[in-house]
Amino acid sequence: MNKFLKLFLILLCLMFITFSISCFNQASRKEIAIETEKTTNEKLEEQPKGAEGETTVLEEERPVESEEDEEIDKLSLVLQKVGPSVVNIEFEVKSEDGSVGKLLSSGTIFTNDGYIISASPIVENLKKITVTLQDGTQVLGVLVGMDKNTNIAVIKIDAQNLEISTFVAEDVKVGEPVLIIGRPLGEELDFSQGFVLATGTNRTISPDNPPLVGLIETKVKSGVGGGSLVNMKSQIIGIIIVIQPLPGSDELSTFATPSDIVVNIANQIIEYGRARTPFIGIEMGENNTAVVGVYIQSVVEGSPAEEAGLKGGDIIAEFNYKKIQTPYELLAQMLKHNVGDIVKLKVFKDEVYTTLDINLVEVTQVQEQKESSVEEYPASVGYVNDFAHIIDKEYESQIEDLIKELEENTTAEIAVVTIDSLEGKTIEEYTFELFNTWGIGKADKNNGILFLVSLNDRSFRIEVGLGLRDIITSDIAKKILDETVLPNFKEKKYGKGSFECIKEISNYIVSPK
């Protein structure tokens, strides 16, 4: 009995101890819960109060993006937007010793059907142009034209639906951050960061060419072999044409032709095969007066300046509402306009300011005609222009029929010209200038061809328009001349040689080999 009593007392004690521990744990958990709620309420009270009836939700704390991260994001966005329109251009040039060298540069796609803008290449003995797109695709290119006044060139590739970037004409500010983006070595995109040092600067890169005017000067850490000058809005504000080291520094100074001039010149080259430089017909001199502007030394006879009543001693203060102080600034403004435009000139003449309308003409219409010592080119008389009288009537008729048939079936336009003398010019100069003077093929995609023979100079040449240069390449033109013209002309069979030449050209155009 005593044993059972002792056992019962022991069990009772154990139950009491267990109950006490349980109550303690519950009380502890309750205190912890109360404390947690209190803390949470305190935190909620620290948050901004919502409007009555609204619930304020605690947001997770997010890491703050650093300024460096923001700059990287901006840079990445610009490269993504502009990068696809930037290409690599490889110019293959044949040297005097017969060896072939390569010049690498960058270009920017201007139109989605394959026109590309770049700085002017060295084009003497240019054999081939290869353009590498962003995806590594390589396409043969043709030099459409180039302009010595701006150092801008236009190249055409056979492609469609290309990605292009936006060219903008804006007031670029000194100190503005910029990027130079290019593909100097091939498919890989390269860039350099910098800022605008100056605007409206001028540079002379060749004594044979006029100074480059109205340039944007930038300071960058490294060069990328030319390319596009881009603002942080992903807009192209210029094309790099000159890169120079900064004295006493490992940084570079670059010079870009502004986009408004670039676009205007590129459109002219695409339409006419060359840039048409506007001209008003004034000789400028040093301005030693108190009046700010461009001093007119004299005017060219028969020029728009003379027709507008300008004379020596007048001072041009504004060109189409833009203030100008130097001849360079005047030229920069003129390059933004086209031949045929009528602009306003604010002129200080006869001690008062007056505003005049003046028509912009092409420089060749007045200046080059007066400077040229070569006789005026003959006017076209048809498909066969036998001024040297060396093609007999039978072959002349056959050539005309052949050219007519070709024009009916294609867009090509061909002219045959024979002359007595080149009048002191080279065969290359004469054919090029006559080709452009007559505008052969200019009416339809520059699909023109001129076959010229100079009797006394014993020379001949095929000048090919830009639209046909991928078909009649320089090698093919030489092959045609060697196989058709040379053997016949040696025997003085000028009519037969000319006919076979045009026939072979026609065969290539109708059925390219």
Nearest Cα residue to 446 out of 432, 466, 462: 466
Evaluate whether residue 250 is within a structural domain: yes
Domain of 503?
384-510
Evaluate whether residue 471 is within a structural domain: yes
At 286 the pLDDT is: 86
- 102 shares its domain with 245: yes
SS3 163: coil
**pLDDT > 90? residue 513:** no
Evaluate whether residue 311 is within a structural domain: yes
Number of domains in the chain: 3
The domain boundary residue, chosen from 370, 404, 439 = 370
**pLDDT > 70? residue 182:** yes
Evaluate whether residue 166 is within a structural domain: yes
At 46 the pLDDT is: 45
The CATH number assigned to the domain holding 467 equals 3.10.310.50
Q: Any idea which residue has 């001093």 for tokens?
A: 295
Evaluate whether residue 11 is within a structural domain: no
Q: Any idea which residue has 């690498």 for tokens?
A: 104
The domain boundary residue, chosen from 327, 345, 370 = 370
The CATH number assigned to the domain holding 192 equals 2.40.10.120
At 180 the pLDDT is: 92
- 322 shares its domain with 415: no
At 39 the pLDDT is: 40
Q: What is the per-residue pLDDT across 483-505, written as a single tens digit (0 to 9) for each?
A: 999 999 989 999 999 999 999 99
Compute CA distances 49 → 38, 58, 62, 474, whole Å.
18, 11, 20, 80
At 52 the pLDDT is: 41
Evaluate whether residue 400 is within a structural domain: yes
At 6 the pLDDT is: 53
At 469 the pLDDT is: 81
Lowest mean pLDDT among 13-27, 64-78, 149-163, 453-467: 13-27
Q: Residue 55: how many CB atoms within 10 A of its CB?
A: 5
At 242 the pLDDT is: 84
Evaluate whether residue 98 is within a structural domain: yes
Range with the largest mean pLDDT of 7-11, 13-17, 298-302, 460-464: 460-464
Q: What is the per-residue pLDDT across 307-336, written as a single tens digit (0 to 9) for each?
A: 899 999 999 999 999 999 998 899 899 999
Of the two residues 184 and 318, the one the predictor is more confident about is 318
At 167 the pLDDT is: 93
Q: Binning pLDDT at 50, 70 and 90, where does residue 57 land?
A: very low
Nearest Cα residue to 244 out of 254, 259, 233: 254
Mean pLDDT of the 182-207 span: 85
The b/e string for 240-273 (b: 16+ C-beta within 10 A; e otherwise) is bbbbeeeeeeeebbbbbbbbbbbbbbbbbbbebb
> What proportion of the chain, given as a percentage, has pLDDT over 70?
80
Nearest Cα residue to 431 out of 419, 443, 444: 419
- 232 shares its domain with 294: no
Lowest mean pLDDT among 323-337, 352-366, 399-413: 352-366
- 263 shares its domain with 168: yes
Q: What is the per-residue pLDDT across 263-278, written as a single tens digit (0 to 9) for each?
A: 999 999 998 888 888 8
Lowest mean pLDDT among 63-67, 167-171, 498-502: 63-67
Q: Residue 402: how many CB atoms within 10 A of its CB?
A: 17
Nearest Cα residue to 400 out of 420, 414, 389: 414
Tokens of 121: 């290449």
Report how far residue 83's alpha carbon sits from residue 98's, in angstroms, rounded to the nearest whole number.
36
- 362 shares its domain with 394: no
The domain boundary residue, chosen from 275, 299, 334 = 275
Q: Give the E-state strand segments of 122-272 in sequence order.
A: 126-132, 138-147, 152-157, 166-167, 177-182, 190-203, 212-220, 227-231, 235-245, 252-258
Q: Binning pLDDT at 50, 70 and 90, where does residue 179 land?
A: very high
3-state helix, strand, coil in the chain (%, to 5): 30, 30, 35
Q: Binning pLDDT at 50, 70 and 90, where does residue 285 land?
A: confident
- 324 shares its domain with 185: no
Report how far residue 482's alpha carbon sits from residue 332's, in angstroms, rounded to the nearest whole number.
46
- 352 shares its domain with 271: no
Q: What is the per-residue pLDDT across 407-443, written as a single tens digit (0 to 9) for each?
A: 888 888 999 999 988 877 788 878 888 887 888 876 6
Are residues 419 and 387 in contact, defined by beta-carbon separation less than 8 angstroms?
Answer: yes
Report how far residue 145's alpha carbon sits from residue 268's, in angstroms, rounded to the nearest whole number.
9
- 177 shares its domain with 122: yes
**pLDDT > 70? residue 37:** no
What pTM was estimated for this model as a whole? 0.60
At 22 the pLDDT is: 43
**pLDDT > 60? residue 29:** no
Of the two residues 38 and 228, the one the predictor is more confident about is 228
- 415 shares its domain with 329: no
Torsion of CA 476, 479, 480, 483, to 10 degrees: -160
**pLDDT > 70? residue 381:** yes
- 325 shares its domain with 241: no
Evaluate whether residue 450 is within a structural domain: yes
At 56 the pLDDT is: 33
- 343 shares its domain with 436: no
- 355 shares its domain with 391: no
The CATH number assigned to the domain holding 300 equals 2.30.42.10
